Structure 1
Amino acid sequence: MMELDRRSLLASLAVAGAGGVSTLALARSKDSAARRRPPNFIVVLADDLGYGDIGANGSRAIRTPNIDRLAADGLLMTDAYASANICTPSRAGLLTGRYPIRTGLAWQVIQADDTNGLPPEEVTIPEVLGDDYASALIGKWHLGHTPPYWPPTVQGFDLFFGLPYSHDMKPLSLYTAGEGVEFTQEDVDMVALTQRFFARAGEFVDANRDRPFFLMLALTAPHIPLHPTKEHAGHSPAGDYGDVVEEVDAELGRLREQIERLDLQNDTYVIVTSDNGPWFEGSTGELRDRKGGAGWDGGYRVPFIAWGPGRIPAGSRSSAITMNFDLLPTFAALAGKPLPKDLVLDGKDISAVLLDGAPSPHEALVLFDNEKVAAIRTDRWKFVARSYYRGYDLPLARIGANLLFDVRSDPGEDYNLATRHPKVVKAMRARFEQYRQTYEPLGRKKEPDRLPGGKALP
């Protein structure tokens, strides 16, 4: 009852026609309503899937025919970023439309003995979509596993079926909450986990076929430990990692078949992406570094495919810079939902990017490593402000280093062009100081920058 009251309160805060719902999106949502009903949204969020781990992005070691088919029949985004290079903050950014540092979750990931989480006052995607949408989080939560942050039904979801955090953490149980179930838990069968998640997602889609729904299918794969099923074990030249990714691909194919069998494809947007770059296994393609790797793209840039027959043109490809926190305002726009009046968002409505190939609404994206500004990305340029060397977390920009990369011609961030573009460096350094002063004071740790040897910078 308290959650329903909270969602009603959030709805009352919204002002009809509030900023954030674009004219284009409203027109499209009205057209969609005239045709059938408000659109469904499905976000399939892989865990630690690398940019280069799908065929659509060049993988040869891992076969992903169903993901590739979604890309061929929809939109492949080449420059999509997660809002963090590790799990907890990235998920916070996706669900709230805000840089994770605003939510208090930018520092590391939540561990099994932690008691922090996503603040209940944060507004999430299901809360913006409202009570006329059925909503489910199936899979991994990792945004707090003690009250008042737990279970995910406290953040607007009608159904939760999944794990409190990563499946390499202990103790571990599989939980169910919502839809008439007060709260249950059961043992975890690691081998069957991906299949269980997809099966429960299929049940949710079937049960809500006649009303709009939002489904966040937050997989544990291909995060380690890796447990391929018998059906897929030993099939990929990319080892167990490849087997697990190919299992995800096969299950995605079955989910698409179900959507089409229920004749929901013209009412449904499907997004396939990852929470960050790959960890100890997996491919970043030609991108530099990996999950948790300071300011380099390999930890942040992720696969991103959007499928929406009849709305998203088949065979589309976009290099517009986007971030996972764009999903909240975009879904609100596509559903014709106003945003709460005083909600401060960093994400932007990218419906025109998805539907019409428009340029990015972002002038720049800020990449954080924990609570520090680690890099800045504009359409062409990347300014790297932090990196690691052996045991050092180097605050490069603060000690006078200028690392500037033309990521359009050099996506691997191999060659520094700072001396050739002093005006660009000046502009990027100004952005860096602005973002550092704006965001870093919001951090809960407020760790000072240190030089090698331990001396703190003012």
Structure 2
Amino acid sequence: MTTIPLTPRLSRRSALQGAAATLAAAATPAIARARRKRPNILYIMADDLGFADLSCYGRRDFETPALDRLAADGLRFTNAYANSAVCTATRVGLITGRYQYRLPVGLEEPLAFRQNIGLPSSHPTLPSQLAKAGYRTSLIGKWHLGSLPDFDPVQSGYQTFWGIRSGGVDYYTHATSNGQLDLWDGPTPVDQAGYLTDLLADRAIAEIRVASAGAQPWFMSLHFTAPHWPWEGPDDASESARIAKAKDLKALFHFDGGSAAIYAAMVRRLDYQIGRVLGALDKAGVAEDTVVVFTSDNGGERFSDTWPFSGRKTELLEGGLRIPAIVRWPGVTKAGATSDAQIISMDWLPTFLAAAGAAPDARFPSDGVDITPAIGGASLPARTLFWRYKNHAQRAARRGDLKYLKIADNEFLFNVAADPLERANLKDRQPEAFASLKAEWEAWNATMLPLDPQSYTHGFTASELADHYGVDD
């Protein structure tokens, strides 16, 4: 005999209460409604991607349809900055929510060769604080914040890790220039064939499937290595094998290699795989419950498009610091919106913690701010952002439209809104503004750690690099 479930009979009071609740929900601001359920957070970071390397940011010679769709569904920032013009320093700012110059590892530009430097496991981080708040946390991709045994993602808040520990590896052999394998599943080396961008996406999709089946919210840092050198596209496996066999240092670093066509193929493949990852959110039924952020760790390299800016990675000109940043936050972002709010990498920590109903550790207050209002279409309070970079004694500060810049003995004041190429020096026309920003930078710098003369600053010769990596030059 088939049992037919009975439909509950509603009293008039219950019906009125239900209607009132519906009306109240409709009247509640979108951000408040979105925060009633703590969202999953998917933070996707490219490596060395230029400001205009996506077609939604102006790339003209190829298209990035997956990320264009993400921007069409969400918000695109036009004044997003990296904490540094190189990768390790920015990653320190991101994971701690603080200026990287507060920690010795943040003085590395980037981290290379030094075994006693890394992110201290005792320092609270974005993943450790989210884990404390009940989130499942994972890092898939690039770490570059210190070497085993003292420094490790799982010692700094990530419950699972699958990726590389160094700054860059061959996309096919997954080895550093001395032939050492650098692909890991937690503490275990992984010997797996495949183009690294593809493997990272596959792993992210698998993690989304598992994490979304659980009861707890999740946070994933998906740190692709693309389009960081070596310049290897998805169809360059035979060339990669030749490089690995020869242990060719110059070929791995590719300071004089690659091509615009290979770079385009790398970015297009990155876009394609991100599309697959975003599709996995839909298949898992969690797209509406997930905040998605896409950005880069610093400005672009040789083949990048940084228009309308000048400069590139390792330079505090806008091209080295300005990055794409796209946010899709269902219920908070408005589809197809843009924001000119000035944001920076370290802002993501207080923003994500606020979304999780948590706050930064009081012992290590964040230098960033919660940018949720800007994500929702509002403005942010005025503030000054600061940078320094050891190579060529660079320093920079931006307040409003004005930017103070020093490179070696040359000092400038630019209006980067009116003059994004940074060509018209206003130092003599606006001496008070110049002096004020310079003094503000000096006061800020006095609160940071002094520069480390032993930190890496791209000053090594080919022979010195070979000695450090254990290969012949």
Q: Which residue of 1 aligns with 2:58?
A: 58
Partners of 2:196 and 2:296 in 1: how far apart?
17
Distance change in 2, residues 1:362/1:123 (3 Å): farther
**Deviation sequence 1:332-368 (CA, Å, 0-9, x none):** 111111322222221111111111x222345110012
SS in structure 1 at match of 2:417: coil
Partners of 1:373 and 1:292 in 2: how far apart?
10
Equivalent pair of 1:103/1:122 in contact (CA under 8 Å): no
Partners of 2:204 and 2:361 in 1: how far apart?
29
Report 1:19-418 matches (<5 A). 31-32=33-34, 34=36, 37-104=37-104, 105-112=106-113, 114-131=115-132, 132-150=134-152, 152-168=153-169, 169-170=176-177, 171-177=180-186, 183-187=187-191, 189=193, 192-209=195-212, 210=214, 211-230=216-235, 238-293=260-315, 295-355=316-376, 357-370=377-390, 374-386=395-407, 394-396=408-410, 401=411, 403-418=412-427
Partners of 2:341 and 2:237 in 1: how far apart?
35
* 1:438 and 2:447 aligned: yes
Equivalent pair of 1:62/1:238 in contact (CA under 8 Å): no
Equivalent pair of 2:95/2:125 in contact (CA under 8 Å): yes
The Cα of 1:249 is off from its aligned counterpart by 0.6
Q: Which residue of 2 aligns with 1:451?
A: none
Partner amino acid, structure 1, of 2:448: Y
Partners of 1:339 and 1:159 in 2: how far apart?
22
Identity, % of aligned positions: 33
Partners of 1:92 and 1:231 in 2: how far apart?
32
Partners of 1:96 and 1:79 in 2: how far apart?
21
Partners of 2:113 and 2:428 in 1: how far apart?
47
Partner amino acid, structure 1, of 2:185: T
The Cα of 1:167 is off from its aligned counterpart by 2.5
Partners of 2:118 and 2:30 in 1: how far apart?
36
SS in structure 1 at match of 2:341: coil
Partners of 1:125 and 1:227 in 2: how far apart?
32
**Deviation sequence 1:185-214 (CA, Å, 0-9, x none):** 12364x511111011111111101143111
Equivalent pair of 1:89/1:100 in contact (CA under 8 Å): yes
CA-atom RMSD, angstroms? 2.4
The Cα of 1:232 is off from its aligned counterpart by 12
Equivalent pair of 1:29/1:336 in contact (CA under 8 Å): no
**Deviation sequence 1:33-74 (CA, Å, 0-9, x none):** 64xx31011111101011110111110113101111111110
Partners of 1:120 and 1:445 in 2: how far apart?
24
Q: Which residue of 1 aligns with 2:459?
A: none
Partner amino acid, structure 2, of 1:340: D
Partners of 1:195 and 1:361 in 2: how far apart?
40
Unaligned segments of structure 1, at least 5 residues:
1-26, 178-182, 387-393, 448-458
| 1:423 maps to which of 432, 447, 452 | 432
Distance change in 2, residues 1:437/1:369 (3 Å): same
The Cα of 1:112 is off from its aligned counterpart by 4.4
Unaligned segments of structure 2, at least 5 residues:
1-28, 170-175, 239-258, 456-473
Partners of 2:394 and 2:30 in 1: how far apart?
37
Partner amino acid, structure 2, of 1:116: I
The Cα of 1:30 is off from its aligned counterpart by 6.0
SS in structure 1 at match of 2:326: strand
Equivalent pair of 2:43/2:220 in contact (CA under 8 Å): yes
The Cα of 1:373 is off from its aligned counterpart by 6.2
**Deviation sequence 1:137-179 (CA, Å, 0-9, x none):** 00110000122212x10001010001111224342321111xx
Equivalent pair of 2:136/2:219 in contact (CA under 8 Å): yes
Partners of 1:232 and 1:407 in 2: how far apart?
42
Partner amino acid, structure 2, of 1:360: L
Equivalent pair of 2:394/2:405 in contact (CA under 8 Å): no
Partner amino acid, structure 2, of 1:120: S
The Cα of 1:440 is off from its aligned counterpart by 4.8
Choose 1 or 2 for highest CA Rg. Answer: 2
Partners of 2:386 and 2:154 in 1: how far apart?
30
Partner amino acid, structure 2, of 1:185: P
Q: Which residue of 2 aligns with 1:5?
A: none
**Deviation sequence 1:98-119 (CA, Å, 0-9, x none):** 1111121223222245331011
